[in-house]
Amino acid sequence: MKLILIKGIYILKAVDFFCGGGGMSFGMQKAGIKVLAGIDNEIACKKTYESNIKGAKFILADVFELKEEDLAENLNLKKNDDDLVLIGCSPCQFWSIINTDKKKSTKSKNLLVEFERFVKFFNPGYVVVENVPGVLRRKSESGLDIFISGLKKSNYSVHFEIHNTSDYGVPQNRKRFTLLATRMSKLPLFPKKLDFKKTVFDVLGVHNGFSRIDAGHKDTTDFIHTVPNIQPITLKRLQKVACDGGTRLGFSDDPELQLDCFIGRDSSFKDTFGRLWWDRPSPTITTKFFSVSNGRFVHPDENRALSLREGATLQSFPKTYKFFGSSHSAIARQIGNAVPPEYAKHIGLAIIENHSLSLS
């Protein structure tokens, strides 16, 4: 199949495994790559994905049960297609340094092995893998060693590195393992860093369309500038946390407000109850960014956690991106688990540039 050229951008086609709410797919579309489908076993992601990733199918499937031949028939995919990009951003809880229930996430540790089945079957022009840095630190156990070795044996040029998404237009410090592989050329393939970093002030605040709200505010519009309520004692604590980067040390000497678990541990877990800085990128937006006790997720100068839309904005989703879920935490999970679309866009642009050079 010939490449389609629209407004000077080559349109490759991609299939996004473990697509979630569509962060990677949206970024790839923004770069100029046609996304054929997103695959995920979470029905909760379906409406969010389909509402934002226009022209792409949402395939509800467990990758452990999905057959290569069935996917080929469903999407009319061919083997050895130079224009095909296969993307695998598998759930990363098992390899995360964040304290999660490893028993619940044990199955996810083998998802890279399952993704490899499809790479071997289709032999696409490009392969993308994005995950937490832990998959590289434990590359033998995660299957990454075998995955990379298999790519090289199939004559792929492989580049992998730990990137901070703040280097690519995302107003957030978020370190991610990213692997880009191609059999189209031996040219270097990696996203190009920008010469500036966006800060919280660049995207949040009244001057960016975020009205001042109190804890417990509910926004029933698609903007979802919604934030959970907090207990009166939590409000008292936040009132003592200095604006613009303050920490829980602001209330550590108050016997009424200090938590027992922090007594004598001022140097531990300092981000808990901490405020974001206006002039820096935010910390990593996790699935619990709506909770003041789960990290540095307090608004820089309002006494509340981040709203759903603020979390999505720090993940670089546009304000028009629609999220759907059965609860506040369900939507936050989609947001926190997503690949930041702006980072995905730069990955897509690197692939497009590599592809055009390989054909010249």
Catalytic residue among 19, 89, 92, 261: 92
Q: Can 92 be counted among the known catalytic residues?
A: yes
DSSP annotation string for 113-179: HHHHHHHHHH--SEEEEEE-THHHHTHHHHTHHHHHHHHHHTT-EEEEEEEEGGGGT-SB--EEEEE
In this structure, which amino acid lies at residue 292?
A: V
Q: What is the separation of C-alpha 240 from the centre of its chain, rounded to a whole number of angstroms? A: 32
- The answer to whether the CB of 16 falls within 8 A of the CB of 330 is no
Query: In angstroms, rounded to a whole number, what is the distance separating the alpha carbons of residues 18 and 334?
Result: 12
3-state secondary structure (DSSP) of residue 70: helix
Q: What is the DSSP letter of 36?
A: E
Residue 356: phi, psi to the nearest 5? -65, -40
H-only helix segments in the chain: 23-31, 46-52, 68-75, 102-105, 111-122, 134-137, 139-142, 144-153, 200-203, 232-239, 308-314, 328-337, 341-359
Q: Which amino acids are annotated catalytic?
A: 92
